[in-house]
């Protein structure tokens, strides 16, 4: 007996009425975009209110961090798992040394240039499925990043059936963006604690910028191994004062003299890693000993 042929499944016919068809398409799109997570809030009014607040906060954080961001290249971003590098400047070390030529003890610090990469994938692409419904544009000034403010405005043009899951997805992504930006800002402003301590301890304003770069003439032991050359970006430990593989001498912002004193109380040669709280306390006690407050 020949096997029975399977009956062909009949395709669901689209509704005959135009308005019914529109409703069906919207319903399918909305269901497709809805999250598989439980307890997702689809309340439009609440999500609009929260998204506006998150966008404002993210914009403020991004503005504070963008000045420390290195040049972007979309191809490099994709090849490096969407990591973006940032550079910061801080004063991590204080060195006290005796200058034999001038018979004086100096307290100095050197600006430290450091670099760190962060995964910024959350800013580089929209949530899944959104680009099937909305044309996603990039920011005008930073064209690698999604313009979430424009995406939000365009989303508000959608019908409520589709708008509900779209807003939930946008809010969820913006919260991820906020976490990412928060980590970056925390790293960028981290040296400010030390800078404030040194300014208060010595009564001097500490500033440095790339326009002050010069060939390094800092006393021996002033630089950390990870300090970056202002010209080629190679760390001091590998670079040294003169880089053996090129004619580039180590470039830095030069050392800052925080205090000078005579040698009546003896000659001193020591260093303080003032990133550590214990070392800042140790330096404070030493300054008290020298009556240099």
- In this predicted model, what pLDDT tens digit does every residue of 233-290 receive, in sequence order? 666 666 666 655 555 777 676 678 888 877 655 677 788 888 899 999 999 988 887 7
Task: Point out which residues pair with 16 in neighbouring strands.
Answer: none
> How far is 47 from 266, CA to CA, in rounded Å?
67
Given this model, what pLDDT does residue 174 score?
A: 96
Given this model, what pLDDT does residue 293 score?
A: 44
Sites in the chain below the pLDDT cut of 70: 1-12, 73-81, 208-215, 217, 219-228, 230-247, 251, 253-254, 263-266, 291-293
Given this model, what pLDDT does residue 57 score?
A: 97
CA 65 to chain centre: 6
Given this model, what pLDDT does residue 155 score?
A: 94
Given this model, what pLDDT does residue 165 score?
A: 92
Cβ atoms of 131 and 151 closer than 8 Å: no
Q: Which two tokens stand for residue 81?
A: 């798992």
Task: Provide the whole-model pTM.
Answer: 0.76
Given this model, what pLDDT does residue 78 score?
A: 60
> In terms of Cα–Cα distance, which of 66, 220, 245, 203 is closest to 145?
66
Q: Backbone dihedral region of 81: left (phi > 0), alpha (psi from -120 to 50 degrees) or beta? A: left
CA dihedral 16, 21, 22, 24 (to 10 degrees): 150
CA 46 to chain centre: 29
pLDDT digits (tens, 9 = 90+) for 61-76: 999 999 999 887 666 6
Residue 292 has φ and ψ, to the nearest 5°, of -110, 10
Given this model, what pLDDT does residue 38 score?
A: 78
> How far is 255 from 78, CA to CA, in rounded Å?
38
């Amino acid at each position: 007996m020949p096997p029975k042929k399977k009956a062909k499944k009949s395709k669901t016919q689209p509704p005959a009425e135009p308005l019914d068809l529109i409703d069906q398409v919207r319903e399918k799109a909305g269901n497709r975009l809805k999250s598989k997570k439980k307890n997702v809030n689809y309340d439009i009014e609440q999500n609009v209110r929260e998204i506006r607040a998150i966008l404002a906060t993210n914009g403020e954080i991004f503005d504070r961090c963008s000045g420390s961001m290195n040049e972007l290249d979309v191809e490099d971003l994709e090849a490096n798992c969407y990591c973006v590098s940032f550079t910061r400047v801080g004063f991590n070390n204080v060195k006290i040394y005796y200058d034999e030529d001038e018979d004086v003890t100096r307290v100095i610090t050197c600006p430290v240039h450091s670099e760190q990469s962060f995964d910024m994938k959350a800013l580089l692409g929209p949530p899944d499925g959104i680009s099937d419904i909305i044309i996603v544009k990039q920011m005008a000034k930073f064209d690698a990043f999604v313009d979430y403010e424009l995406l939000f405005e365009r989303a508000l043009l959608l019908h409520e059936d589709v708008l509900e899951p779209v807003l939930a997805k946008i809010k969820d992504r913006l919260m991820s963006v906020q976490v990412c930006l928060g980590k970056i800002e925390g790293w960028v402003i981290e040296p400010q604690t030390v800078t404030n301590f040194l300014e208060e301890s010595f009564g001097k304003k500490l500033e440095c910028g790339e326009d002050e770069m010069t060939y390094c003439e800092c006393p021996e032991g002033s630089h950390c191994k990870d300090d970056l050359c202002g010209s080629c970006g190679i760390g001091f430990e590998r670079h040294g004062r003169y880089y053996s593989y090129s004619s580039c001498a180590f470039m830095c912002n030069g050392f800052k003299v925080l205090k000078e004193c005579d040698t009546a109380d003896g000659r001193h040669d020591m260093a303080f890693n003032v990133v550590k709280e214990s070392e800042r306390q140790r330096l404070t006690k030493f300054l008290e000993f020298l009556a240099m407050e």
